[in-house]
């Protein structure tokens, strides 16, 4: 059986059926004839129909370019034996931001609504161009003289972006370039090779080593891509990889909104697979009973434990807001601290009460009560004494020296 060529195929986009002299396959010729005769009415064309038609057309053009040899040449990597890999000299991991961003990596900042993702990016810009510690704690490898960072902002107006960057007090202003794109999404349709090459040339012209895209969703909208579709999101992310390569970028940071659970990027799972590291900003309770933003980072050679942030409105500066002893405060720390306080209050109000009553007064489920009470016992804040059977009675203060041994807060109620 002979192989079907393009000349033999139906001219309808996406159809691989064999065509006759009319250029149509049997099915499409029958459909066309029925419509001309009026025996079949044309169904309304949906937006999805035209999207699929365009996708089919582009795929056909790509395949034609490959067959004709007109497609851009692809550099094929060689095979490397394990012996060759092991013979390569060791290279230490180099960080743009110590523990948070490896030089050469891609990062997605997933931020809950109104946690300050743009403010975080402005803090990042200030640190890498001026050399100040990121979030007041993490050492940076600043951009060298002649290198720059480019901010593609798709959310803020030009004057608002200008105002925020001015507030930040960046010293090395010549190393920062901004591209306000709000209302001009068509100018950033990077799936278009001509548009992508335009921006790649702009990046090369300013020797950009780092680029920021804030936020990602408008880019998807510009391409009419569904953020819940892995295939559509993957195409856009692949275009960003190509832009980074063609533009000579070292690092690329993209901000995106968190889903409703507030723990991961909204939309397709590909958004979690693509980056080398993910930064997160989420709301949580603070020790004062209010609400604060918490930051964390995780990825390849990256780990930034969750920490509460402080915000200085004078220069939009974010910093790690630690406890009085210099440590960080996470949402779990706040929750655990609240549980300990609840237990202490319950025992103060009901000294000598049994476990069931103390736990009910504290309003805690079993696992949280056990963790918090054991910590308080170990710290000498509270102690228990044996009661009838396996019951335990709860008291403030350390365990008396002559008390009966054994109580650890796990007795029956």
User: What pLDDT was estimated at residue 213?
Assistant: 95
Among the ranges given (33-47, 123-137, 182-196), the one the predictor scored with the smallest mean pLDDT: 33-47
User: What pLDDT was estimated at residue 209?
Assistant: 97
- Give the residue-averaged pLDDT of 351-380: 87
For 38-63, b where at least 16 C-beta lie within 10 A, e where not — what string? eeeeeeeeeeeeeeeeeeeeeebeee
User: What pLDDT was estimated at residue 366?
Assistant: 84
Q: When comparing pLDDT for 226 and 299, which is higher?
A: 299
CA–CA separation, 17 and 279 (whole Å): 48
Question: Does the N-terminal peptide bond of residue 215 adopt cis geometry, omega within 30 degrees of 0?
Answer: yes
Cα separations in angstroms, 118 against 160, 304, 380: 11, 19, 45
59 three-state secondary structure: helix
Domain 95-329 of CATH type 3.40.1190.20: no
User: What pLDDT was estimated at residue 64?
Assistant: 65
User: Could you report the per-residue pLDDT of 117-163, keeping only the tens digit for each?
Assistant: 899 999 999 999 999 999 999 999 999 999 999 999 999 999 999 99
- pLDDT band with cut points at 50, 70 and 90 for residue 170: very high
User: Could you report the per-residue pLDDT of 232-274, keeping only the tens digit for each?
Assistant: 889 899 999 999 999 999 999 999 887 655 555 666 777 888 8
User: What pLDDT was estimated at residue 262?
Assistant: 57
CA–CA separation, 66 and 360 (whole Å): 71
Q: Which helix (H) or strand (E) holds 337?
A: helix 331-349
- Give the residue-averaged pLDDT of 73-85: 86
CATH architecture of 333-396: Orthogonal Bundle (1.10)
CA–CA separation, 98 and 139 (whole Å): 5
CA 101, 107, 112, 118 torsion: positive or negative? positive
Contact 106, 250 (CB under 8 A): no
Question: Taking 70 as the threshold, does the pLDDT of residue 219 lie above it?
Answer: yes
Helices (H), 350-405: 355-362, 366-378
CA 56, 57, 62, 68 torsion: positive or negative? positive
User: What pLDDT was estimated at residue 83?
Assistant: 94
CA–CA separation, 11 and 36 (whole Å): 18
Query: Strands 148-153 and 208-214: what pairing?
Result: parallel
Q: Is residue 133 packed enough to be buried (19+ CB in 10 Å), middle (13-18) or exposed (0-12)?
A: middle
- pLDDT band with cut points at 50, 70 and 90 for residue 406: very low
- pLDDT band with cut points at 50, 70 and 90 for residue 62: low
The two tokens of residue 185 are 């999404």
User: What pLDDT was estimated at residue 407?
Assistant: 45
Helices (H), 88-224: 117-130, 158-168, 193-205, 217-222
CA–CA separation, 285 and 333 (whole Å): 10
- Give the residue-averaged pLDDT of 74-84: 87
User: What pLDDT was estimated at residue 325?
Assistant: 43
Tokens 């180099």 label which residue?
94
Q: Output phi, psi for 241, to 5 deg.
A: -60, -40
Contact 385, 404 (CB under 8 A): yes
Maximum mean pLDDT: which of 150-154, 343-347, 406-410: 150-154
Q: Which residues contact 134 (CB under 8 A, 6 or more apart)?
A: 97, 100, 123, 124, 127, 128, 140
Where in the sequence of the chain do the CATH 1.10.10.10 domains occur? 333-396
- Give the residue-averaged pLDDT of 271-290: 83
User: What pLDDT was estimated at residue 324?
Assistant: 47
Q: Is residue 378 packed enough to be buried (19+ CB in 10 Å), middle (13-18) or exposed (0-12)?
A: exposed
Contact 240, 230 (CB under 8 A): no
Where in the sequence of the chain do the CATH 3.40.50.300 domains occur? 95-329
Write the Ramachandran bin of 271: left for phi over 0, alpha for psi from -120 to 50, otherwise beta: alpha
């Amino acid at each position: 059986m002979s192989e079907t060529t393009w000349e033999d195929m139906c001219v309808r986009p996406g159809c691989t059926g064999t065509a006759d002299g009319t250029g149509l396959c049997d099915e499409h010729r029958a459909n066309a004839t029925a419509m001309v005769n009026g025996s079949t009415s044309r169904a309304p064309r949906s937006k999805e129909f035209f999207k699929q038609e365009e996708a089919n057309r582009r795929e056909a053009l790509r395949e034609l370019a490959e067959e004709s040899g007109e497609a851009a040449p692809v550099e094929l990597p060689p095979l490397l034996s394990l012996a060759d890999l092991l013979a390569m000299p060791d290279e230490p991991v180099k960080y743009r931001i110590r523990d948070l961003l490896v030089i050469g990596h891609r990062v997605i900042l997933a931020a809950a609504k109104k946690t300050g993702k743009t403010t975080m990016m402005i803090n990042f810009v200030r640190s890498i161009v001026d050399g100040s510690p990121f979030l007041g704690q993490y050492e940076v490898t600043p951009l060298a003289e002649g290198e720059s960072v480019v901010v593609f902002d798709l959310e803020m107006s030009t004057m608002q972006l200008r105002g925020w960057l001015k507030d930040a007090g960046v010293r090395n202003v010549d190393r920062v370039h901004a591209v306000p794109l709000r209302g001009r999404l068509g100018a950033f349709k990077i799936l278009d090779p001509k548009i992508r090459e335009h921006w790649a040339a702009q990046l090369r012209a300013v020797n950009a080593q780092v680029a920021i895209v804030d936020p990602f969703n408008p880019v998807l909208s510009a391409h009419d891509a569904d953020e819940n579709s892995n295939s559509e999101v993957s195409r856009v992310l692949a275009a960003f990889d190509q832009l980074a390569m063609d533009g000579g970028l070292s690092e690329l940071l993209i901000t995106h909104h968190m889903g409703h659970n507030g723990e991961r990027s909204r939309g397709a799972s590909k958004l979690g697979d693509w980056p080398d590291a993910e930064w997160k900003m989420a709301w949580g309770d603070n020790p004062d009973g209010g609400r604060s933003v918490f930051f964390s980072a995780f990825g390849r050679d990256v780990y930034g434990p969750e920490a509460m942030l402080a915000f200085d409105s004078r220069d939009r500066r974010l910093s790690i807001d630690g406890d009085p002893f210099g440590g960080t405060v996470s949402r779990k720390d706040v929750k655990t601290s609240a549980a300990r306080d609840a237990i202490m209050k319950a025992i103060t109000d009901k000294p000598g009460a049994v476990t069931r009553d103390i736990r009910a007064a504290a309003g805690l489920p079993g696992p949280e009560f056990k963790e918090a009470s054991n910590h308080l016992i170990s710290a000498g804040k509270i102690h228990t004494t044996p009661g009838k059977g396996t019951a335990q009675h709860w008291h403030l203060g350390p365990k008396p020296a002559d008390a009966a041994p054994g109580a650890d807060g796990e007795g029956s109620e």
